[in-house]
Amino acid sequence: MVATYSQTQPPPEYMALYRLTKFKQAALMQIIGTVLMTVTILALFASLPFYGVFTPPEANVDIAIYN
């Protein structure tokens, strides 16, 4: 007897590989998302001195001289 499968249901021997592939894809997407979020937060903190957030008062001395 020949086993027949529908188009939507993969054969049982492929199911473990299918689940492993979906798990790997989900893990990879989570790693990529975490890296992108970390880079975004680091870029935000790196840009804060440009807006004068972490600037010490000594950095404004040259501005006071020209004014």
Dump pLDDT digits (tens) for 23-43. Answer: 888 888 999 999 999 999 999
Q: Is residue 34 part of a domain?
A: yes
**Coil, strand, or helix at residue 45?**
helix
Is 23 within a domain? yes
| Largest pairwise CA distance in the chain | 94
Residue 63 pLDDT > 60: no
Q: What residues make up the domain containing 42?
A: 14-46
In a domain, 58, yes or no: no
Backbone angles phi, psi at 28, to 5 degrees: -65, -40
Question: Is 9 within a domain?
Answer: no
CA–CA gap between residue 11 and residue 47 (Å, rounded) = 53
> How many structural domains comprise the chain?
1
pTM to 2 decimal places: 0.49
